[in-house]
Amino acid sequence: MANPKSDTPEPAKERSLDVGDGNKTRQILTAESQERTGPSQTTERNRSGAFTLGVPKEKEPDLGGIFKKDPEFERRFFDMTGENGNVVERPLGGLFAPDSYRNQAFRQMMGKYGTERVKETFAALEQIGRNSEWVGRDLRADEPTFAEQNKKLEQLANLMKPGKVEAVQAIDKSLKQEGFGKTLTIEQMNDEKLLKHLADPTQRKAFIDFQQNSGSLGGAYLKENPNHKDLSPTQNLEAFGKFKEKFDLKEKLTAKPYLDEINRAGEDPTKHLSDAMRNSRVLMIGEQHSLDGPMHKFGAEAMKDLRAAGATHLALEIPQSQLDKYNKSGNLKDLPEAYQTNDFAKMMDNARSTGMKVVGIDNGTGDSDARAAQERDNFMARQMKQILDANSGNKIVYWSGMMHGADTTSGAYRSTADILRSQKVAITTTMEQSSATPADDLTYYAKHLDKPTAISTKKTPLIAGAEVPRLGNDVQERYGMWDSVLIFPPKRK
């Protein structure tokens, strides 16, 4: 709890309100609340413009007795004040703990509207979908001032007036029946103009459309248009459409140099990789290791063409023993987690059906430290070199995480591709750029593409110099560290 004389709050202690220790908890929380909201503090708060509904202290309810009879209300009460968990908030006005301040405000509400009405309101908010902990978060002041906290508390108190929360429940029911998957905020529940609009089916439809489809850009629109509360949902939806058009135009202008490179140098991904396979002994295809990315499906569809381009082996970042186990069981869970997709299994099947040999070349030690990580790449490079040396006609599609194909010669680590190049092996490397990879500038520009595209980084110097966001590597990662990039635009909704 915050010390009223301190400039910094103390975190509230975590408490359990299980039925088994309810009496003890009630005694602790009620005693603490009463101690922190004694007459001297209440008098000082009233002088500071603190929240009050004009209820004298002697008319405030006996919380201990109420909680003893209704543990469920007790839980909601302390969830909403923020006294149930590890809540760290700055003191209001630099003096008062916000949780005890809300506690005192709730007592005022109970004295003003009656305990039963407060219970009904709390229960109604949970039924709507604003569970007590979420309401508690809604009630936290944006700035640690009495004015900001009072504004939130007044919105909650307003819902306790006759018919208010019931009207919100009716609107909420209509919204949910029409597919609204969110919940009105307490601020929206207090917006009489909005509630009136939401009684109209046309306005409800526009409201749902904006709330569920505007994404993060919707927040930018609301911030830049403070008068949005004066507009109806249909007007806001129309204004947002114009806002989005301007935003998209600005973004396209920013993206234009990159898109110009892609449009000038872009090729069909399968053709691009097939040409690379013809001119190399190893074609490294680097993925993000994502179960919901596009790479496994792409790989399954590309195997026939890569075989026609000369590939004899599909070498996987999997220990051979683990691959053998999967081959015997057919159970995806016997594969490494990153490869447990039907499309990955289909890729292996398609490779075998063309006559390619599917092999596991990982040593299985993982990247527990830098030495182990380097040994993995050394091992995979040795395994592939043995395949290549065994027959001059052998060519390998090497499927792994993308960093195993990066040019890491500027750092201490050597990737599998670096090692093979040092052994005079002709290798072409490619990496995935899609919605499954960490977001960067190219992620946003890719949404302007109509279909997957492959580019050579030698032909796209602007993209080659763009940073690739990754973690845990000792080199400055840029797209130019790979020979090619496979760009997959996000799926259209």
Among 132, 202, 194, smallest CA distance to 167 is for 194
Identity of residue 171: I
CA distance 208 to 212: 6
Do 271 and 382 lie in a common domain? yes
Residues 6+ apart with CB under 8 A from 91: 2, 4, 6, 7, 8, 9, 97, 98, 144
107 and 148 in a single domain? The answer is yes
The per-residue pLDDT string of the chain (493 residues; one tens digit each, 9 = 90 and over) reads: 333 333 333 333 333 334 344 444 444 444 444 444 444 444 344 445 789 999 998 889 999 999 999 999 999 999 899 887 666 788 988 888 999 999 999 999 999 999 999 999 999 999 998 777 888 888 898 899 999 999 999 999 999 999 999 999 999 999 999 999 889 999 999 999 999 999 999 999 999 999 998 888 999 999 999 899 999 999 999 999 999 999 988 888 888 999 999 999 999 999 999 999 999 999 999 998 988 889 999 999 999 999 999 999 999 999 999 999 999 999 999 999 999 999 999 999 999 999 999 999 999 988 888 899 999 999 999 999 999 999 999 999 999 999 999 999 988 889 999 999 999 999 999 999 998 887 788 888 888 899 999 999 999 999 999 988 765 567 888 999 999 999 999 876 5
In a domain, 30, yes or no: yes
Rounded to the nearest 10°, the torsion over CA 346, 347, 352, 357 is -140
Same domain flag for 278 and 391: yes
Are 143 and 191 contained in the same domain? no
Domains in the chain, number: 3
Q: Which domain holds residue 402?
A: 266-487
Same domain, 303 and 452: yes
- What SS3 state is found at 224? helix
CB 104 within 8 A of CB 112: no
Provide the pLDDT for residue 492: 62
Is 261 a member of any domain? no
* Boundary (domain end) residue, out of 102, 126, 161: 161
What is the pLDDT at residue 131?
A: 79
The reply to whether 1 falls in a domain is no
Residues 187 and 141 in one domain: no
pLDDT at res. 404: 95
Claim to verify: residue 333 and residue 361 sit in the same structural domain: yes
pLDDT of residue 32: 46
The pTM of this model reads 0.61
CATH (domain of 288): 3.40.50
How high is the pLDDT of residue 369?
Answer: 86
Per the CB < 8 A criterion, the answer to whether 398 and 388 are in contact is no
Q: Tell me, what amino acid is at 200?
A: D
Same domain, 434 and 318: yes
Q: Is residue 258 part of a domain?
A: no
Residues 6+ apart with CB under 8 A from 481: 406, 407, 408, 468, 475
Residues 226/236, Cβ–Cβ less than 8 Å = no
